Structure 1
Amino acid sequence: MNIAENKKQNNISEYIIYMYQTEDLIRVYEFDIELIKQYVIKHFPVSDEEKTEMAEWYKDIMAQMEKEGIKEKGHLSTVQNHVDQLSRMMDDLKTSDEEFKKIYEHTAPYIKESLELAHGQITDEIQICLNGIYGLLLARMNGREVPQELMPGINAFGDTLSYLSYKYKQKNFLSDN
């Protein structure tokens, strides 16, 4: 099982963010599998066979991105379907789950503020949470300091996504059995 599949089974939010990162990585290397092999895959401490499987996985992702016309921006439809599922789950849990209601009440002001800052370009609350966490990841990867005043909101986004991922896994486990 590759990294993405493992994340997909265990934490859907991590999977979505991992796939966003993969899409961006492919764009940075301009859809050149040889560069991805040299600068990414080569550094994984796995067997040559596993490296070959990883390269095939990247090629598949590239082909999907090209087919969907998202070479420059956007996300794979399969990944966005998971975002949509999380959004629907969040809407349901807001009215049916007391624990989630508390988490959401804490996160809601940060979501509202971020939606306002997005000026209508992003309208989905889950997308706001994912973008906040992904932005933190990108900043850290690039060695940039994240302003301390942003951290309470980012932590609230993380709490929301963690709870939703837990419920998502629980729901999918129950539906598989």
Structure 2
Amino acid sequence: MQKSRRINIFVIHLSHVMIIAEQKKKSNISEYIIYMYQTEDLIRSYKFNIDEIATYVVKHIPAQESDKQNLVKWYAEIAKQMQEEGIEKSGHLSFVNEIMEALSAMNLELIKSDRDYRKIYDQAKIHIKKNRDLSEGKITDDIQICMNGIYGFLLLRMNGKKLDESLQSSINAFGDLLSYLSYKYQKRNATQ
């Protein structure tokens, strides 16, 4: 079996955003979800003002003008969908939530049927429980807890902050679990 690759956590360079989003969707669904979370937050930070996104984000991307125009259209489409779904302040796009639901269902299935996955899950379980307790019952889904942990780590890094060393084992466990789950997800969807 091919070894799953760990989720790469990095500040995403915005050039060719649409292409990157599609590549991530095909190659690592967890990275795609995190990428879409980042896109939603970017749009929110500019208060859905596409002109400002064009001026302060897209304008500075080293790309051809036609690519920049397409990128602005893509942001506008995402922003419109967010507004239509009423997630201007918080929440995630319905298609992103559907993918999360599929990953959560697959998680439950793999815990029962895949010995390698079960070992990885068992390593992450203590960290998942700890984060579930910290959320005071607001987040109960194991995969959402892992995704939030990884995304929170990304936000820290983007803001130039360091992760407390006591949390590094949680991030590693979450990354390992999501990487293996993404590998299985991609493998299953490649055959459908």
TM-score over 0.5 (shorter chain): yes
Query: C-alpha root-mean-square deviation of aligned residues, in Å?
Result: 0.9
The residue that corresponds to 2:113 in the other structure is: 96
Identity %: 53
Match of 2:60 among 43, 48, 52: 43
Bigger RCO of structures 1 and 2 (CA < 8 A, at least 6 apart): 2
Q: Distance in 1 between matches of 2:31 and 2:59?
A: 23
Q: Distance in 1 between matches of 2:165 and 2:60?
A: 33
Match of 1:75 among 92, 106, 117: 92
Q: Distance in 2 between matches of 1:160 and 1:45?
A: 35
The residue that corresponds to 1:12 in the other structure is: 29
Q: Kindly provide the CA deviation profile for residues 31-62 of structure 1, in whole angstroms up to 9, marking residues without a partner as x.
A: 01111112221222221111111111100000
The residue that corresponds to 2:11 in the other structure is: none
Count of paired positions: 175
The residue that corresponds to 1:121 in the other structure is: 138
Deviation at 1:2, TM superposition (A): 2.0
What residue ranges of structure 1 are gaps of 5+ in the alignment? none
Match of 1:136 among 153, 167, 173: 153
TM-score by length of 2: 0.89
Q: Distance in 1 between matches of 2:191 and 2:111?
A: 21
Q: What is the letter of the counterpart of residue 21 of structure 1?
A: Q
What residue ranges of structure 2 are gaps of 5+ in the alignment? 1-17
Runs of 4+ in 1 over 4 A off after TM superposition: none
3-state DSSP of counterpart to 1:2: helix
